[in-house]
Structure 1
Amino acid sequence: MPSLRVLNHAFRAWRRNRAWAKHEPETPFLADLLSGAPTCLHVGASDGRHSYVMTQVAPKAVIYAFEPSAFAFEVLKLGIAWHRMGKQVTAIHAAVADKPGELMLVTPKKSSGRMGRAYAYVAETKPNGPARPDLEDTGMETQMTPVVTLDAFCADHAIDRVDFIRMDIEGAEQRALEGAALILDRDHPHVLLEIHPPMLQARFGGSGEAVVDLFLKRGYRMFALDGVRLEERTTLVADLPWKDYFFIHPSRAARLPDGVFKARMAA
């Protein structure tokens, strides 16, 4: 039986989804990316809000939702059941990186005393000092979590095509994408990626520029919201601790549904 905290969190997430409330500003653009029966990877699924949106804009989508937090994974499973998404969404209790195994999930404690579950990230060891360089925290909780690579997961589950990846994993994105190199080269999936330059540098030895280069060298085009306007970019928006970016490959442009991305890719 789920705990009362899990039930309360899952109910709030379920209610927000039904009201289409508190979704990220990039969420409405998913309808311009997904059609037919796409295969989607939702990495850092949390309570599953992006998985829910995918099922609404592409009712035949097949979604694999990866979540490393034991708490959030229980919330995710309830959301899948309550929204009746079980035929479309498969929940996987795992983090994603560049090699399989096990890592520590670090969850900061906010100054309010609540756990900052949205800011949790994987690490090899417990950090000294603050949990994150970009937050004021008052401590942390840790737990071990299994780790998979997207390439190996898809190979093991006979997933021979990936159409879309949503990834929000608090600085681990470079390593996770390195573990998805075969998918990126084979399928050129659309990607909605939250990039965290301070976390990439301080906790993972990477950089936001390296993440962008990973896509640009494969021929992808990069887009980001400037207010409500979608603009094409070749560099990150400066001086932000994190931001979402879309990556679209020209080879997939003709198969995009009618909408802003198809129009921009044709320009």
Structure 2
Amino acid sequence: MPSIRVLSHAFRAWRRNMKWAKHEPETPYLADLLSGSPVCLHVGASDGRHSYVMTQVAPDARIYAFEPSAFTFEVLKLCLSWHGIADQVTPIHAAVSDMPGELLLVTPKKTSGRMGRAYAFVAEAPPEGKVRPDLEDTGVELQPTPVVTLDGYCRAHGVTRVDFIRMDIEGAEQKALKGAEHVIDRDLPHVLLEIHPIMLESRFGGSAEAVIDIFRSRGYRMFALNGDRLEERTTVAPDVPWKDYFFVHPSRAPNLPDGVFKARMAA
């Protein structure tokens, strides 16, 4: 039986989805990327908000949702069940990186006393000094979590095609993408990626530029919202701690649904 806390968090997430409330501004654009029966990887799935949206814009979608937090994983499973999409979405209790194994999930405790689950990140050892440069905290909660690579998971579970990747993993994106190079080269999937320049540098020894190069070197085009307008970019937006970016490969453009991405890719 799920705990009261799990039930409370799951109910709040389920209700938000049913009201289509508190979704990221990029969420409506998924309808311009997904159609038919896409195979999607939802990395950093949290309570499954993006998985839910994927099933609404592409009812025949098949989704693999990766979530490292033991608590949030229980919330995720409940939400999938209550939304009636558990047969479409496979939840996986794991973080994603460039090597399989085990890491620590570091969850900051906010000054309000609540756990900053949206700010959790993986690390090889307990962090020293300030946990995150973009958050005031009063300590951390540490939890060991299994780690997979996307290439390894897809190979082991017979995922022979990937059409879309949604990734929001608090600075670990460069390592996770390195562990997905075979999938990216094979399928050139559409990607919606939250890039964290400060966390990339301070906790993972990476950079936003290196993340963009993963896609630029393969011919992808990069887009981001500027207010209510989708604009093409070549660099991350300045002076923001994190932001979502779309990456679309020109070879996939002819099969895009009619919408903003198809129009922009044809320009």
TM-score above 0.5, yes or no: yes
Give the TM interval when normalised to the shorter protein. over 0.9
- Corresponding residue of 2:13: 13
> How far did residue 131 of structure 1 move?
1.5
Matches within 5 A, 1:226-265: 226-265=226-265
Letter in 2 for 1:242: W
Which stretch of structure 1 is more off in the superposition, 130-139 or 223-232?
130-139
> How far did residue 247 of structure 1 move?
0.1
Structure 1 vs Structure 2 CA RMSD? 0.4
The answer to whether the 8 A contact 1:107-1:131 is kept is: no
- Corresponding residue of 2:78: 78
- Corresponding residue of 1:68: 68
1:162-220 deviation per Cα after TM superposition (whole angstroms, max 9, x unaligned): 00000000000000000000011110000000000000000000001100111001000
- Corresponding residue of 2:37: 37
Q: Which runs of 5+ in 2 are unaligned?
A: none
Matches within 5 A, 1:1-267: 1-267=1-267
Cα distance in structure 2, aligned partners of 1:138 and 1:86: 36
Aligned residue for 2:59, secondary structure, equals coil
Aligned residues, how many? 267
Letter in 2 for 1:188: L
Cα distance in structure 1, aligned partners of 2:113 and 2:129: 17
Give TM-score, length-normalised by structure 1.
Answer: 0.99
Aligned residue for 1:251, secondary structure, equals helix
Cα distance in structure 2, aligned partners of 1:239 and 1:144: 33
> How far did residue 130 of structure 1 move?
2.0
Cα distance in structure 2, aligned partners of 1:165 and 1:68: 17
Letter in 2 for 1:80: L
Letter in 1 for 2:230: L
Give TM-score, length-normalised by structure 2.
Answer: 0.99
Moved >6 Å (runs of 4+): none
Aligned residue for 2:202, secondary structure, equals helix
The answer to whether the 8 A contact 1:97-1:175 is kept is: yes
Letter in 2 for 1:220: Y
Letter in 2 for 1:67: E
Letter in 1 for 2:77: K
The answer to whether the 8 A contact 1:223-1:232 is kept is: yes
Aligned residue for 1:264, secondary structure, equals helix
Cα distance in structure 2, aligned partners of 1:197 and 1:87: 36
Letter in 1 for 2:83: H
Q: Which runs of 5+ in 1 are unaligned?
A: none
Aligned residue for 2:231, secondary structure, equals strand
Cα distance in structure 1, aligned partners of 2:28 and 2:75: 23
